[in-house]
Structures are given as structure tokens and as C-alpha cells.
Structure 1
Amino acid sequence: MRFLGRSLTGLFLLAATLGLLAMAGSMINSAIKARAERDSADPGASERIFSANVMTVTAGTLTPVMTAYGELSSRRALDVRALTGGTVTEMAENFQTGGVVQQGDKLLRIDPTDFEFSLELAKTDLSQAKAELRDARAALELARDDLNNATRQADLREAALTRQRDLVTRGVGTEAAVETAALAASAAQQAVLGKRQSVITAQARVSTAEAALRRSQIQLDEAQRRLDETLIHAGIGGILTDVSVLRGGVVAANEKIGRIIDPSTLEVRFRVSAAQYARLLDDQGRLSNTDITVRLDAAGLDLIATGRIDRESADVGEGQTGRQIFATLDPSPGMRPGDFVTVTVDEPQLDGSVLLPASALNAQNEVLVLGPEDRLSSARVELLRRQGNDVIVRATALEGQEIVTERTPALGAGIRIRPVRPGQPPAPESQAEMVTLEPERLARLRSFVEGNDRMPEAARERILAQLDTGALPADTLARLEQRMGN
């Protein structure tokens, strides 16, 4: 009996064990199938719609603006130099850096003592030369009078010789008287020759005295010029800068002691690329006198001046590219030589062009066009100019259509958008459909969410907060029940 009882107990335990194993296998099989169904199930996500700014393409005539950067300089500037060396004895009160001077103003004076002595000596030499010239001219007059007197005596001797010869011819005179008259006439002619030599000598003395007088006059002028050079005046009107001398200082000849700059005659030099330079040429290939605008950013207060292109540099410059252009400016208060400014130049007008934000164009010169059902398509345009944050394109085929003004990585061809037009608020997003839950269904969902350790904490809290209200969005409910296997 004991054996039979033990056998029945063993059979019961074996049957129970097999049943439990079968039930466990069935549960594992069901779990594997549910997991496979969840992994292969369609997530059922809805299409996402993005908001994007759009604008209507309207072609017109635009004037591109070329932007460059340049430096101001003065067209009238003068170095103040000491023309002679010496000690500075006098100096004007405004002879300092920043001082304003007018043309002809006295700036400073170098010690003139030595030059005044030289001037007095030159005046003395000039007076002596004038006296010598007066004496030479008086001697010349006397020599000429002596020559005239000797000439008259020679004429009388010739007349006496002629008379004696006539007497001999008539038989009244003698040969001795003729010879005596002939000798006297010859002596008179010899005296005339001597007087002529004296006149020539006197003329040479006059010429020498005149040359000495001119030399003395030149020396006097030179001494006066050297004396005048000790007093330095302003050659032009303007503002002083780089003043490097003080009263009592010693300067050398040709030493630079300052600089005068006229700030009312400014010009700007700026450099453009070869392509930009080509757009500034006229039909004859010459640089056109285009109007320009110069802007100086002075701590938020912009100083603006206008001008015209004047000339261009003859060469490119070592280590440089493009072209250097010079433009003269109209009177521009507040600007000074050396200022770094922004230069804008109006280019020739472009017909049939559109101004777009640079963010509307990609690297392939394509824009996104708004099509039916607010879906995007891509279209290529012709890029004409880039200026700042905008571009000028030619898009004749897109006339009247709307394009996206700000491309983002999320936007592309085929994407549906919610267009935001200028002056209009963005369209409100559609509210998600809410589903009210029964208590049993709500309890199952809460239990699943609380027990799901793979769900992010932020998402779990958000869903639990929604479950507390007793309703869930339809798409969220569908995803949860798909994961639960229902």
C-alpha cells in the first residue's frame, strides 16, 4: 500500500511539472510573437509640416551697389622744412600739432644774425661795384674826348700837309716844309691810334665793372634770399601735424619740422577686383566718372560724404591684386586723412532682375518654389550679383511665383510647408485629436507606461500627465497600444 501511494504521488508531481513547463513554453512563445509584431509594425507617423517665409518673385530694374574699403588722404599736403640751419628764435603760437594756419602765416624764425652780416657785406660790395662802374664810365668819357681831340689835330695836320704840297706845286713852298708837315701829320695819326687804344681799354674797364656789379647784385640777392629763408611761412592753409621742433632748438638745413594738411580737399583710394573694375568701364574701355558714397562709422554715428571717381593707378602693385582707384570727395566735415571708410559705387542698372536674401539660394544657384498643396520644388536661377546679405538674380521663368526666402536643412523638394507671407502671421497649427479613455483602458495604459523602462523619463512624465486628464492624442494612443500588442 505504501508503494502504491508513493507511485501515485510521483505521477502527480510529474504531471504537474509537465503542465507547468508547457504553460511556460506557451507564455514564452506568445511573448516572442508579440515582440516580433511590435518590431515589424508600421509606426504610422504623420507627415510633418514646417513653417517657412515666402515671397513673390517680381522682376524689375535694379541698380547693383559695389562695396569696397578704402583710406582717406588729402590732395593738398605740404612738408614744412627748414631751408637753412640754425637756432629757432621765434615761433608762432599756433605752430603745434593740430594748429590751424592760413596760407602765408608766419610759423617760425631761425637766428638771422650770420645772414644779416652776409647781407651787409653784400650791400657794401654792391656799393663798391657801383662806384667802380661810375669811375670806369667817366674814364671812358675822357678817353673818348681825348680821341676826338686827337682826331681834330690829325685833321689839321693833314690840311697843313695838303697846303704845303699845293705851295710846292705853285713854286712858292719848299720840300723841307712839306716833309715837316708830313712828319707832323704822321705824329698826329699816331696820337689818334693811341687815343683809340685808351678808349678800348676804358670800354673793357666798364664791361669789367658792369660784370662785377652784376656779381655783387647776385650776391646781394643770394644773401637776401638766405636771410628770408630764416623766416618760414605756411605755403598752404590747413592743419599742422608732426611738429617736431621747439623754441631754442637747433635744426639742420632741409630738416622736416612739420606737415600741413588741408582737410577740405580729401580723396579716397580703394581697391576693387578685376571683375568689379570691368563693370566700371564705359563703352570706350575707359574708367567712368561714377558717383560714389563714402561712409565712416564713428561710434554708431555714420559720417557720409559723396564724390566722383577721378583716376586709377598705373599698375597693380607688388603683391596686390585688382585695381586701385582714386576718387575726389566733396567737402566732408568730420572726416580726416587716414580714416578707414566704406565706399559704395552704383553699378549700371540690370533689367529683369530680382533682389533676394542670400539665404534663399544654395550653392547650386537653386531656389525652392512653392507649388500645389504647398509643396516645394527646386528651380535654378541665374546669379548676377552678390551684395551684402542679398543677391540679385535673373528668374524670368519664376515671375509671379512664391519662393522660400530662408532655406534650412529640413526643407527640400517635395516637402510640404506652412507658408508665412510678408505682413501675415503664420497659420495656426492644427490641434491633435484627443481620445477620451475608459477607466480600464486608462489603467492598462498607465501600468504599461510606468513599467516601460526603455521610455525616456521626460516622455514618461509627459504621457502620465496627459493620462491624468483622462484623454490622450490619437496618434500617441495608437503608438502606445501598438507597443502593448493590442
Structure 2
Amino acid sequence: MRPAMKIVLPFVVLALAAYGAFSLWKSRPQTVRQTPPEKTWMVESVRAKLIDVQPDLRLFGEVVAGRKVELRPLVAGQIVKVGENFREGGVVAKGELLIAIDPFDYQADIDERLAQRAEARARLRQIRAEYEGEKALLLHDKAQVAIRRRDVERRQKLRGSGASSVKTLDDARLALSQNEQRLTDRERSIEIWKSKLDQQNSAIVRLEIALRRARHDLGRTRLLAPFDGFVLNVEAEFGKRLGVGDRVARLIDANRLEVRFHIGNAQFARLGSDFAGRVAGIYWDGATRPLEAVLKRAGGEIETASGGVSMYAVLRGVGADSRLRPGAFVRVELPGPRYNGVFRLPDSALHDGDTVYIIVDNRLVPRKTRIVTWLGSDILVQGGLKAGDDVLITRLPEVGPGVLVSTP
């Protein structure tokens, strides 16, 4: 009996344990599977508006001199006078005296040329008198030759009739020959005096030229301002001796100040070929009211280092009384090209370079579009939108079609 119990007892225990485990499993609490609620993203949007716009290009530039010259004397000499405004930073008016060089030598040269001209004119009158006298004597010589020729002809007739001797005929022929020789000498003398007359006229012309040159050099002893301007780099002072071409100062034209600014390749291309004549606003020294500058020209080449080109605009209404000077740093607002039928959006509305999302029934719907240009942190786009669309401008980590969103 006991051996049988030892065999059966373990199986009974195992059966009871299995039953208990099964009872526990059957009585376990049942869990109900539930679908999590869909997440709603709080976002911001803007209403799409179809507009025509001509945005300004905001750039920075520098005031430069549109015309500047180096002042150099064209005659040599000692400085005997200096203009009141001829100093570093001085403002001079057109025609104002800058420096005066000692005119003594140049005035003396004029006086000498005047004396030479007077002497040459007197010599001319003498030559002309000789010339006119020779011409008058030529008439007498011709008359003498005519008389001698008739005398020879008469004696030849008399010789034929035997009324005249051979010696008388020969004497008449000799006298004719002498008068013809005198006529030839007279004609040659007239040509010589005529040549002297021409030479003396040429000499007087040369003296007149030398006199004009001397007077011109005398005028050059006074160095005058060629235009209204600002004086800088002064290198001359009272008493200094100057040579021809020595630099005395530089002068900047106060009425020809320009603004030079740099513009990128893409912006330059959008300006078009008819950019000349456009008016830009120039802001300097915190001024709220801009100066005007007219766009005139572009630089001669594209700058490879910066990838753009320099532009030049001439300032309006700026003169010698202005505080503006070359080297001033300014802000430039230049009207850009006009865009018609575009939408202006924050750049945060753009996804993947060509996609924006509109909100329809609180769901995101993608729209393909095309970027026309960038305006700072905004973009101008065309296509894919219509006026009144709510465009998503919030950046979402899970942006995509059908995403549930909510706007304030």
C-alpha cells in the first residue's frame, strides 16, 4: 500500500498545481486595446495675396569722386601768392586763385617780343619801300628799252639808204643791250625784294606766335581752380620754387560726387540693360530723408573674387556746401525689377525647394510652386496657389500631406 501511495502522490500534486495555474489564467483581468488619439499640431499661417510688386534692392556703397585732377603748374617759378582757400580741406570756387608764380620773367619776355615785333615791322616797311621803288624803276627801264629799240630800228633803215654809219648803228645796238641788261637786273632785283618781303612777313608771323605764347605763359603764372571743389594733398606754399609739372595739390569736383556700390551677378542680371537713369535713394549718417542718385554705368568687368559688378550713381543736389565727402559709407536703396502676379511669403513656408502647404479642413495639402526671387527673409513665388489660400509658415518636424493642424 505504501509503495503505491509513493508512486501516485507526485502525480496528484502535479495535477493540483496544473489546475491551480489554469484557474489563475482563466481568472486574469482582460485588457481592451484602444487606438491612440491623432496628434494635432498648433501652427501659424498667412493668407495668400496675389500682388504686383517692385521691391527695392538694399545695398551698401561708398561715395567716390566722379572727377578729380592733380594741379600742376605749366610754368616754372617762385610762388609769390597763395589763395585764401588753398589749404588742406579748403573749398574753392571755379576760377578762384590757388597760387600765383612770379610773373617778372614772363612779362619781360612779352616786352622783348613786342620790341622784336616793332623792329620787324619797321624792317618790313623798309623792304616794301625798296620793293615798290624797284617796281617803279622797272617801268622807266622798260620805256628806255623801247626807246633804244626804236633807235636801233631807225638807224638800220638809215644804214640801208647810206645815211648812217656802221659805228652809229653799233653804238645804238650797244645802248639797247645795256638797257636790256639793266631791265633784266631790275626784274631780278624785284624778285629778290619780293622774296625778302615774304621772309619778313614770315618772321613777323613767328614773332606774333612767340608773343602769343609769351602772353599765354604769363597767364599760366596764375593757377586757378577749374571747377568748384575740395582741396587735398597740398604740397605748395609761399616762397617755394616750382618746376614745370610739379604737383601742388589735388582737387575733387564738388558737383560730381558719385556712389559706388557692389551688386551680385543675379541682381545685376535682373536689373536689365536699361538700368541707366533709375533713381536710387542714398542714406548717409543716419538721415531719414534720402539723397537722390541717378544710376549711370556699371563697372567694366565682373569681379571674379566677389562674383558681382560695381555700379556707379551720380548724386543730385550735392555741391561745395555739402558735408558729404568721398569715402563716406552710405546705404543704397535701388528700385529693382517689377514682378506681376506673384505671392509674397516668409521663407519658412517653403519646403524641399519647391513645395508649400496650404491648410484645407485643418489638413495639410501640398502645392508645387516656383520661386521668382528672394527678398531678405521673404520669397516671391508663382504657381500652385490662389488668392485666399491659408499657407503654412510654421516649420514642423513631421510635415506632410494630411497632417492634422490647428491655427490660433
Q: Structure 1-normalised TM-score?
A: 0.67
List aligned pairs for 1:281-292, cutoff 5 A. Answer: 281=272, 286-289=273-276, 291-292=278-279
Correspondence 1:86-485 to 2 at 5 A = 86-281=77-272, 286-289=273-276, 291-298=278-285, 300-316=286-302, 319=305, 321-332=307-318, 335-362=324-351, 364-373=353-362, 376=364, 379-405=367-393, 407-408=394-395, 412-413=399-400, 419-420=407-408
- Offset at 1:107? 1.8
Q: Does the 8 A contact of 2:281 with 2:290 survive in 1?
A: yes
Deviations 1:422-449 (A, max 9, x none): xxxxxxxxxxxxxxxxxxxxxxxxxxxx
Per-residue CA distance 1:298-332 (angstroms, 9 max, x = gap): 1x324523344333344335756334433334324
Deviation at 1:380, TM superposition (A): 4.2
Contact 1:296 1:340 in 2 (8 A): no
The CA distance in 1 between the partners of 2:306 and 2:121, in whole Å, is 65
Q: Indicate the SS of the match to 2:271.
A: coil
- Corresponding residue number in structure 1 for 2:13: none
Identity across the alignment (%): 24
Aligned-pair distance for 1:213? Answer: 1.8
Rounded to whole Å, the distance in 1 between the matches of 2:303 and 2:214 is 46
Q: Distance in 1 between matches of 2:230 and 2:306?
A: 32
Q: CA deviation at 1:257?
A: 2.0
- Between the aligned partners of 1:162 and 1:197, the Cα distance in structure 2 is 27
Greater mean deviation of Cα atoms: 325-334 or 150-159: 325-334
- 1: CA distance, partners of 2:200 / 2:251: 46
Equivalent pair of 1:241/1:259 in contact (CA under 8 Å): yes
Alpha carbons 2:50, 2:386 under 8 Å: kept:
no
Distance 1:395 1:318 in 2: 35
Residues in 1 aligned to 2:351 and 2:326: alpha-carbon distance in whole angstroms = 41
Within 1, Cα distance between the matches of 2:37 and 2:234? Answer: 79
Residue identity opposite 1:114 in structure 2: D
Cα distance change on mapping 1:217 and 1:297 into 2, 3 Å: closer
1:192 shift after superposition = 0.9
- Structure 1, residues 247-283: CA drift from partner, whole Å, max 9, x if none? 22233322232233333333334343333333233xx
Question: Offset of 1:334 from its aligned partner?
Answer: 5.2
Letter in 1 for 2:344: L
Q: Shift of the alpha carbon at 1:87?
A: 2.0
Bigger RCO of structures 1 and 2 (CA < 8 A, at least 6 apart): 2
Q: What CA distance in whole angstroms lies between the structure 2 residues aligned with 1:51 and 1:251?
A: 82
- 1:386-416 C-alpha deviation (Å, 9 max, x unpaired): 12232212254353222244x3466744766
Residues 71-124 of structure 1 show CA distances to partners (whole Å, capped at 9, x for unaligned) of 333444433221123221101112223333332222210122332333333223
Q: Which residue of 1 aligns with 2:5?
A: none
Q: Which runs of 4+ in 1 moved over 6 A?
A: 44-50
Matches for 1:18-33 after TM superposition, within 5 Å: none
Q: Which has the higher helix share?
A: 1
AA aligned to 1:312 is A
Instruction: Return closer, same or farther for 1:66/1:392 CA change in 2, 3 Å cut-off.
Output: same
Residue 384 of structure 1 aligns with an amino acid whose one-letter code is V
After superposition, the Cα gap between the structure-2 partners of 1:161 and 1:271, relative to the gap in structure 1 and judged at 3 Å, is same
Give SS of 1:301's match.
coil
Choose 86-95 or 307-316, whichever is displaced more.
307-316
- Structure 1, unmatched stretches of 5+, are 1-41, 421-486
Q: Is the 8 A contact 2:262 2:309 kept in 1?
A: yes
Give the conservation status (yes or no) of the 8 Å contact 1:290–1:345: no
Q: 1:325 to 1:297 in 2, by over 3 A?
A: closer
CA distance in 1 between partners of 2:404 and 2:284 (Å): 44
**In 1, distance between residues paired with 2:259 and 2:266?**
20
In 1: Cα distance, 2:398 partner to 2:342 partner: 25
Pair 77,383 (structure 1): closer, same or farther in 2 beyond 3 Å? same
> How far is 1:136 from its partner?
1.8
Normalised TM-score (structure 2): 0.79
Amino acid at match of 1:115: Y
Classify 1:61/1:45 alpha carbon distance in 2 versus 1 (closer, same or farther; 3 Å). same
What is the DSSP-based 3-state SS (H/G/I as helix, E as strand, rest coil) of the residue aligned with 2:282?
strand
Distance in 1 (CA, whole Å) between partners of 2:165 and 2:47 is 143
